[in-house]
Amino acid sequence: MTRILITSALPYINGVKHLGNLVGSMLPADVYARFRRARGDETLFICATDEHGTPAELAALEAGQDVATYCREQHAIQKEIGKRFALSWDFFGRSSSVQNRELTQHFARVLWKRGHLDVRTTKQVYSHAEKRFLPDRYVIGSCPYCGYERARGDQCENCTRVLDPTDLIDPRSAVSGSGEIEIRESAHLFLKQSEFVEQLRAWIESHENDWPNLVLSIARKWLDEGLKDRGITRDLEWGIPVPDDIGDGKLKGKVFYVWFDAPIEYIGATKEWADAGGKGDAWRGWWYGEAAKDVRYYEFMGKDNIPFHTVGFPVTIMASGEPWKLVDRLKGANYINYDGGKFSTSQKRGVFMDTALELLPADYWRYYLMANMPESSDSNFTWEHFAGVVNKDLADVLGNFVNRITKFTAARFEGCVPGEGSYGAEETGLIVELDHRVAQYSAHLEQIEFRKALAELRAIWVAGNEYLTRAAPWTHIKSDRAKAAAGVRMGLNLVHLLGHLSWPVIPTAARAIHEAIQPAPKVIPWPGEPMAEFLDALEAGQQIHAPDVLFAKVTDEQVVEWKVRFGGETKP
């Protein structure tokens, strides 16, 4: 049987992630992992914090901590918040782990020995104030074309021209503002990506039919523009050191570029998982050679990460000549905007994972984000839309359905599954509809089409309400108790079904729904087929429990309050 390996793009270490980061990678990966586990597939869901690079060092500086401490603390925070969002990682590792260091150095050594790396001298901006080299975008100055005074060294935000730091007039450090900067030469290791253009293109085209358009077009664009060799080392303190046996002694004190070691951490974190669980070489069985032949590998990420997963990481693996697993299905997401603008960590604009949970439980966000995932184009978050979806879909359609049938059972059937009466034409029709809808829902999830899947899930919730209205046990109870009983029995079986089907998306609420009927296992399995059997499975006389309100509504007052608090479109 096929085993399922799932990785989510690694959240960067410099602070709590916003909803845009969540919906692009971690959340869809989690929903997919839960779906696969529910279906009974052996599944491994791996994630980690991405801890290297200049922004991490600067964030630590700003926090007044050494980088190692800063990363350790931030990792713990992100892990905690992820758990509270019910992200069901099998392991949440760290790109700064020993395991990743060993693997990254292994790849670099193999690539060096095989001649796919070479040492080149580059010119870079060095700032005396910080005593460090600055990436282009950390150098600011006046744009030589439009005069904009805060143009960055890589691009002018005002006139959008692509720049080089040496183009800037009056260049200075964006960190300290110091103008004491100079261009220095520095030796770096380059990955000869250009040698792999044909191999890479063949691989990408082999996925013509099973990768989203967005992913294919971005990957092809990089190839079509001519793949350049890429520097894979940096002059930084914090990072995975380049081993002494690479680079003929010219690379002392350098570390690998974050985008070289971050994807390798997918493998590294799997090794962290195996080491932590005493599983020995099991990590290798998910990634390497014959042992991993039965593994199907899925990656989830935002569109900004696509080049690194379609070009950089695959080239690293191809260049190693070793049989590491390449991605099979790659799901790329667009961006979600906040009230018409960007989510921004630096400007504190938008909603972040920790503050989101202060407002409402994880399931509210999970459902909204998945139902409106930016799959085909960027989508837009507004508080009104969010409140509307939560109130209508979760509170009115799903919550109220569970509530009305369980309350009715408690009031009229002593809170037990009634055994009288039998299913008739109404029930048969419903079963036919649900056989179809559940199959559709399952197929959409399997194809990683989340908007369509969630629309189908919602339609299944609606079908419950439609059925109850037609069956109208509250009417029949007055004249034909057996007929009313059959309707209630079906209603309760539907609650049972919704508890199963909703679990990948809204695990906490799904558990509460399931437990209205009976205790829920840790992984709520996919409902057995056919529906005719599943929807007649509850035993007569079984006690059920009407749950408390599953979803509270978002009030207009809350919407107003949150818009102000989170700096939405209330422009002066």
Partner RNA sequence: GGCAGCGUAGCUCAGUGGUAGAGCAGGGGAAUCAUAAUCCCUUGGUCGGGGGUUCAAAUCCCUCCGCUGCUACCA
Q: Restricting to residues 340-379, which ones interact with RNA according to CB under 7 A?
A: 342, 372, 374-379
When asked if residue 385 is in the footprint of RNA (CB under 7 A), the reply is yes
When asked if residue 305 is in the footprint of RNA (CB under 7 A), the reply is yes
Beta bridge partners of 384: none
Among 187, 326, 455, 532, binds RNA (CB under 7 A): 455
Q: Which is nearer to RNA, 17 or 325 (CB)?
A: 17
Query: Mask: binding to RNA, 118-137, rule CB under 7 A, as x and -?
Result: ----x-x--------xxxxx
Q: Which is nearer to RNA, 37 or 94 (CB)?
A: 94
Query: Mask: binding to RNA, 188-227, rule CB under 7 A, as x and -?
Result: x----x-------------------xx--xx--xx--xxx
When asked if residue 322 is in the footprint of RNA (CB under 7 A), the reply is no
| 132: nearest Cα among 189, 186, 70 | 186
Q: Which is nearer to RNA, 42 or 136 (CB)?
A: 136
| 317: nearest Cα among 496, 498, 489, 111 | 111
400-412 vs 507-517: helix crossing angle, rounded to 10: 20
Query: Quick one: which segment of 62-70, 80-88, 433-441, 447-455 binds RNA (CB under 7 A)?
Result: 447-455
Full DSSP string of 458-502: HHHHHHHHHHHHHH-HHHHTTT-HHHHHHHHHHHHHHHHHHHHHT
Among 176, 355, 440, 465, binds RNA (CB under 7 A): 465
When asked if residue 452 is in the footprint of RNA (CB under 7 A), the reply is yes
Among 160, 209, 346, 479, binds RNA (CB under 7 A): 160
Report whether 215 contacts 193 (CB < 8 A).
no
Q: Which is nearer to RNA, 136 or 354 (CB)?
A: 136
Give the DSSP H or E segment for 387. Answer: helix 383-389
Question: C-beta of 136: minimal distance to RNA in Å?
Answer: 3
CA distance 540 to 129: 77
450-471 vs 481-501: helix crossing angle, rounded to 10: 170
For residue 316, what are the contacts with CB-CB under 8 A and spacing of at least 6? 107, 111, 191, 260, 263, 264
Query: Quick one: which segment of 86-94, 290-298, 413-421, 545-553 binds RNA (CB under 7 A)?
Result: 545-553
For residue 437, what are the contacts with CB-CB under 8 A and spacing of at least 6? 456, 459, 460, 463
Among 65, 142, 155, 176, binds RNA (CB under 7 A): 155
CA distance 133 to 120: 17
Among 114, 252, 348, 392, binds RNA (CB under 7 A): 392
Question: C-beta of 435: minimal distance to RNA in Å?
Answer: 18
Query: Quick one: which segment of 155-163, 287-295, 428-436, 557-565 binds RNA (CB under 7 A)?
Result: 155-163
Question: C-beta of 257: minimal distance to RNA in Å?
Answer: 7
Q: Which is nearer to RNA, 80 or 164 (CB)?
A: 164
CA distance 171 to 226: 31
Q: How far is CA 405 from the centre of its chain?
A: 35
Binding residues for RNA, total number by CB under 7 A: 87
Question: C-beta of 269: minimal distance to RNA in Å?
Answer: 15
When asked if residue 405 is in the footprint of RNA (CB under 7 A), the reply is yes
In the chain, % helix, strand, coil (3-state, to 5) comes to: 50, 15, 35
Q: Which is nearer to RNA, 214 or 535 (CB)?
A: 214
For residue 293, what are the contacts with CB-CB under 8 A and spacing of at least 6? none
Question: C-beta of 194: minimal distance to RNA in Å?
Answer: 9
Question: C-beta of 160: minimal distance to RNA in Å?
Answer: 5
Among 408, 503, 562, 566, binds RNA (CB under 7 A): 408
Q: One-letter amino acid identity for 313?
A: F
Query: Quick one: which segment of 33-41, 68-76, 157-165, 351-359 binds RNA (CB under 7 A)?
Result: 157-165
Among 145, 259, 288, 423, binds RNA (CB under 7 A): 259
For residue 553, what are the contacts with CB-CB under 8 A and spacing of at least 6? 390, 391, 395
**What burial letters (b/e) apply to 227-244, b meaning 16+ CB within 10 Å?**
bebbbbbbbbebbbebee
- Indicate the Cα dihedral angle 184, 185, 191, 195, nearest 10°: 120
Interactions with RNA, residue window 37-66 (CB under 7 A): 50, 52-55
Among 42, 102, 167, 396, binds RNA (CB under 7 A): 396
Question: C-beta of 190: minimal distance to RNA in Å?
Answer: 9
Query: Mask: binding to RNA, 474-513, rule CB under 7 A, as x and -?
Result: xx--------------------------------------
User: Could you give phi then psi for residue 336, rounded to 5 degrees?
Assistant: -110, 130
CA distance 242 to 108: 8
Q: Which is nearer to RNA, 349 or 452 (CB)?
A: 452
CA distances from 187 to 227, 253, 370 (A): 21, 11, 45
Question: C-beta of 32: minimal distance to RNA in Å?
Answer: 18
Question: C-beta of 291: minimal distance to RNA in Å?
Answer: 30
CA distance 333 to 448: 11
Question: C-beta of 294: minimal distance to RNA in Å?
Answer: 31
When asked if residue 545 is in the footprint of RNA (CB under 7 A), the reply is no
When asked if residue 184 is in the footprint of RNA (CB under 7 A), the reply is no
Q: Which is nearer to RNA, 291 or 559 (CB)?
A: 559
Q: Which is nearer to RNA, 109 or 303 (CB)?
A: 303
| 123: nearest Cα among 189, 185, 190 | 185
Among 6, 31, 151, 395, binds RNA (CB under 7 A): 395
CA distance 83 to 99: 23
Interactions with RNA, residue window 71-110 (CB under 7 A): none
109, HSE (Cβ side, Cα atoms, 13 Å): 10
Query: Residue 45, Cβ neighbours under 10 Å: how many?
Result: 26
Query: Quick one: which segment of 34-42, 101-109, 152-160, 425-433 binds RNA (CB under 7 A)?
Result: 152-160
